[in-house]
Amino acid sequence: MTLTLDSLRISRGGQPMVALDTTIAAGEVLTIMGPSGCGKSTALAALAGALPPGFKMSGRIYLNGRDMTDLPTHARRMGLLFQDDVLFPHLSVAGNLGFGLPRGVPSRDRQIAQALDAAGLDGMGARDPATLSGGQKARVALMRTLLSAPQALLLDEPFSKLDANLRDQIRDFTFAQARALPVILVTHDLEDARAAGGRIISVTGEPLH
Partner 1 sequence: MIRAAPGLVVALMALPVAAGLAGAVLPAFGYFPALGGAAFSLDPWRELLAWPGLGAAVRLSLFTGIGATVLSLAITLLIVAAWQGTRSFRVVTSLLAPLLSLPHAAAAFGLAFLIAPSGWVARALSPWATGWDRPPDLLIVHDQAGLALIAGLVMKEVPFLMLMTLAALGQTDSARRMAVARSLGYGRVIGWTKTVLPAIYTQLRLPVFAVLAFSMSVVDVALILGPTRPPTLAVQVLDWMTAPDLSLRFTASAGAVLQLLLVLGALAAWVLAERLIAARGRIWASQGARAPGWDRPLRALAALPTLAIGLGVGLGLAGLALWSVAGLWRFPDLLPQNFGLRVWTDQSQQLWRLGGTTATLAGLSAMIALALTIAALQAGATRAVGIIYLPLLVPQIAFLPGLSALGLWLGLDGTLGAVLLVHLVFVLPYVMLSLSDPWKAWDSRAGLVAATLGAAPWRVLLAVRLPMLTRALCIAFAVGFATSVAQYLPTLLIGAGRVGTVTTEAVALAASGNRRLIGVWAVVQMTLPLAVFALALALPALLARRRRGLRVT
Residues binding partner 1 (CB under 8 A): 45, 48-50, 72-80, 82, 84, 86-91, 99-100, 102, 128-131, 144-145, 148, 150, 154
For residue 127, the minimal CB distance to partner 1 (Å) is 10
Q: Which is nearer to partner 1, 145 or 187 (CB)?
A: 145
For residue 69, the minimal CB distance to partner 1 (Å) is 16
Q: Which is nearer to partner 1, 19 or 184 (CB)?
A: 184
Distances in Å between the alpha carbon of 65 and those of 1, 3, 58, 152, 183? 9, 8, 18, 13, 16
Q: Which is nearer to partner 1, 76 or 171 (CB)?
A: 76
Q: Which is nearer to partner 1, 85 or 192 (CB)?
A: 85
For residue 106, the minimal CB distance to partner 1 (Å) is 17
**In 3D, which of 21, 20, 61, 23 has the Cα closest to residue 39?**
20
Distances in Å between the alpha carbon of 206 and those of 20, 29, 30? 9, 16, 12
For residue 193, the minimal CB distance to partner 1 (Å) is 23
**In 3D, which of 73, 71, 29 has the Cα closest to residue 195?**
29
For residue 99, the minimal CB distance to partner 1 (Å) is 6
Q: Which is nearer to partner 1, 6 or 84 (CB)?
A: 84
For residues 12 and 54, the answer to whether their CB atoms sit within 8 Å is yes
Residues in contact with 43: Cβ distance below 8 Å, sequence separation at least 6, in sequence order: 8, 10, 18, 20, 32, 186, 203
